[in-house]
C-alpha cells in the first residue's frame, strides 16, 4: 500500500497520476511552481488523437524530413543553435525507426491508445465535467486535387486504431468549404477520435478535484529526487525537503535531470510547438478539429477561442521562442481566410519527446516516472495516470507497461 506520494509537476500527466493515486487512497502532494497553467498541457491542439497508433520514429516519417523543413515552407525546424540537442536525439530516432523496433512501438502505443478515451471518460465523470470531452471525430482536408488524392489514399489505407476514417460526405465537404476562402479539394472524416473542449477549464477542473479529495500543493520547484532508506525525498529550490513513500516525476520536458542521478537515462528533447489563437468569428462552436494537412496545421474551436497550432522545433527547453514561427502561422491563417480575429495571442511550448516516440512510465524503488508523452500527452494522460497508479499499488495495469520502462535506453 502506498500511503503517501509526491508528484513533481502539475501538467495534465502529473494531475492524472495524482488523481489516480488519490482514487486508490494515497495521500498526494503536488510540487510545482506557482505559475499560470500555460505549459504544453494548456497550449496544445485539444485533439484526442487515438488514431495516431504509429510512433513518429518510423522510416516513413524520416523519408519526409527534407520536404518538411521549415526553411522549405514546412513545419519541421532544426535550429542550428540547438544542434547539440537535436543531433544526438536524431541519431537515436534513426535507430528507433528500424522496422522491428517500430513494429514493437506501434503495438505498445496501440494498446495504450485503445484505453485512452474510456480513461478520460472516467476521470472527467469523477471530476464532474464529462462535457469537457467530445468524441465527435475530426477532419483532415487538402487544398489541391493532387495532395487530396495522395493524402486520402494514405489515410484510407492506414491503421487508425479504434478510430475509423472515411471520405467526407458532400454535406460535410460543403460545410468545410464555408470555413475558408481558400479552395478545399478533398477531406476525410475520422470517427472515434475527439477533442477536449477547453484546455484551461480542464486544468482548473482537475486541480479542483485534486484539492477537493484532500490533495496538498507545494508551490516550489523540485531540485532533486532521491531514495533514502526505501522512501522518497524531494529537495526544493526554496522550501525544506519533503518525504513520502514514493515520488512520481511528471515534469514534462524538464524531467530528465530529475531522474538522471538515479541512473535512469531519459534522452528527452523539447519538441516545441507554436500556436496563435483569437476570437473565433463565425467558426461553428460544434465544428470538430480540422487538420490542414498541406500546411501541417490543426485548427481547433475551443470555448470562445479559435486556435491554429503547428511547428515541430527540436530545441532545448529554455531556448527563446522564434517569432518567425508565429509569422508562418499567421500567413497560413491569412492564406486560408480563417475567421481568427484580433487580438491574436501567440504561444510556444514543449512536447516532451523521447527518440522512440513512446512515453516513459515505470518505477525504480521509491521513484516512479510518467513523462515523454510527445504529441499525444493530452490523449494519453488519463490512461497513463491510471496505469502508473495501478503499477504502484501492485494491481494489473490496463495495458502492458514494460515497453515504456526507461530501462530501454540503457
Ligand X SMILES: Cc1cc2nc3c(=O)[nH]c(=O)nc-3n(C[C@H](O)[C@H](O)[C@H](O)COP(=O)(O)OP(=O)(O)OC[C@H]3O[C@@H](n4cnc5c(N)ncnc54)[C@H](O)[C@@H]3O)c2cc1C
User: Interface residues with ligand X (CB under 6 A)?
Assistant: 8-14, 31-33, 35, 39-41, 43-47, 49, 221-222, 250-254, 273, 275, 309, 349, 351-352, 371, 373-379
Q: To the nearest whole angstrom, how small is the minimum distance from the Cβ of residue 126 to ligand X?
A: 19
Q: Which is nearer to ligand X, 282 or 318 (CB)?
A: 318
Q: Which is nearer to ligand X, 33 or 130 (CB)?
A: 33
Nearer to ligand X, 2 or 298 (CB): 298
Q: 104 exposed, middle or buried (CB, 10 Å; 0-12, 13-18, 19+)?
A: middle
In contact, 11 and 376? CB cutoff 8 Å: no
Q: Give the closest residue to 247 by CA, choosing from 264, 259, 257.
A: 259
Q: Which residues of 57-68 are buried (b: 16+ CB within 10 A; e: fewer)?
A: bbeebeeeeeee
- Shortest reach from residue 280's CB to ligand X, in Å: 17
The minimum distance between CB 131 and ligand X, in angstroms, equals: 18
Q: Are 273 and 310 in contact (CB under 8 A)?
A: yes
d(CA 187, CA 172): 9
Backbone angles phi, psi at 91, to 5 degrees: -65, -45
CB of 164 to ligand X, least distance (A): 19
Nearer to ligand X, 48 or 185 (CB): 48
Closer to ligand X by CB, 185 or 379: give it: 379
Q: Nearer Cβ to ligand X, position 189 or 375?
A: 375
CB 298 within 8 A of CB 310: yes
Q: Give residue 26's Cα distance to chain centre.
A: 26
The CA-atom distances, in angstroms, between 224 and each of 8, 31, 255, 261 are: 10, 12, 10, 8
Instruction: Name which of 186 and 252 has its Cβ closer to ligand X.
Output: 252
Q: Please report how close the Cβ of residue 183 comes to ligand X at its closest, in angstroms.
A: 26
Smallest separation, CB 5 to ligand X (Å): 14
Name the residue whose CB lies closest to ligand X.
377
Instruction: Give min distance, CB of 44 to ligand X, in A.
Output: 3
How far is residue 118's CA from residue 8's CA, in Å, rounded to a whole number? Answer: 25
Pairing between β-strand 164-167 and β-strand 186-191 as defined by DSSP bridges: antiparallel
Amino acid at each position: 500500500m502506498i500511503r503517501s506520494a509526491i508528484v513533481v509537476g502539475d501538467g495534465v500527466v502529473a494531475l492524472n497520476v495524482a488523481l489516480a493515486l488519490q482514487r486508490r487512497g494515497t495521500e498526494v502532494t503536488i510540487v510545482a511552481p506557482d505559475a499560470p497553467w500555460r505549459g504544453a498541457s494548456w497550449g496544445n491542439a485539444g485533439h484526442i488523437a487515438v488514431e495516431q497508433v504509429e510512433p513518429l520514429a518510423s522510416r516513413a516519417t524520416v523519408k519526409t524530413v527534407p520536404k518538411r523543413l521549415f526553411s522549405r515552407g514546412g513545419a519541421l525546424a532544426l535550429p542550428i543553435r540547438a544542434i547539440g540537442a537535436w543531433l544526438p536525439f536524431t541519431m537515436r530516432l534513426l535507430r528507433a525507426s528500424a522496422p522491428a523496433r517500430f513494429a514493437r512501438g506501434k503495438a505498445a502505443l496501440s494498446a495504450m491508445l485503445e484505453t485512452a478515451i474510456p480513461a478520460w471518460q472516467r476521470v472527467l465523470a469523477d471530476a464532474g465535467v464529462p462535457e469537457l470531452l467530445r468524441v465527435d471525430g475530426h477532419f483532415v482536408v487538402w487544398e489541391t486535387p493532387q495532395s487530396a488524392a495522395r493524402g486520402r489514399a494514405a489515410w484510407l489505407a492506414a491503421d487508425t486504431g479504434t478510430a475509423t476514417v472515411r471520405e467526407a460526405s458532400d454535406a460535410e465537404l460543403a460545410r468545410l468549404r464555408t470555413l475558408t476562402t481558400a479552395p478545399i479539394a478533398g477531406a476525410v472524416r475520422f470517427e472515434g477520435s475527439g477533442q477536449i473542449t477547453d484546455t484551461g477549464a480542464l486544468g482548473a477542473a482537475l486541480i479542483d478535484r485534486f484539492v477537493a479529495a484532500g490533495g496538498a500543493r507545494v508551490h516550489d520547484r523540485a531540485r532533486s529526487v532521491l531514495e533514502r532508506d526505501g522512501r522518497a525525498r524531494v529537495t526544493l529550490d526554496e522550501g525544506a525537503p519533503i518525504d513520502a513513500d514514493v515520488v512520481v516525476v511528471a515534469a514534462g520536458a524538464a524531467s530528465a535531470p530529475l531522474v538522471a542521478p538515479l541512473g535512469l537515462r531519459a534522452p528527452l528533447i523539447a519538441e516545441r510547438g507554436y500556436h496563435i489563437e483569437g476570437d473565433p468569428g463565425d467558426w461553428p462552436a460544434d465544428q470538430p478539429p480540422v487538420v490542414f494537412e498541406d500546411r501541417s496545421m490543426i485548427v481547433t474551436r475551443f470555448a470562445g477561442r479559435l486556435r491554429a497550432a503547428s511547428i515541430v522545433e527540436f530545441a532545448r527547453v529554455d531556448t527563446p521562442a522564434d517569432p518567425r514561427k508565429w509569422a508562418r502561422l499567421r500567413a497560413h491563417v491569412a492564406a486560408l481566410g480563417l475567421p481568427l480575429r484580433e487580438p491574436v495571442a501567440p504561444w510556444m511550448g514543449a512536447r516532451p519527446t523521447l527518440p522512440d516516440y513512446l512515453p516513459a512510465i515505470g518505477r525504480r524503488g521509491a521513484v516512479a516516472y510518467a513523462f515523454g508523452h510527445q504529441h499525444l500527452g493530452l490523449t494519453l494522460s488519463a490512461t497513463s495516470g491510471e496505469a502508473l497508479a495501478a503499477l504502484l499499488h501492485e494491481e494489473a495495469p490496463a495495458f502492458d507497461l514494460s515497453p515504456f520502462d526507461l530501462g530501454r535506453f540503457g
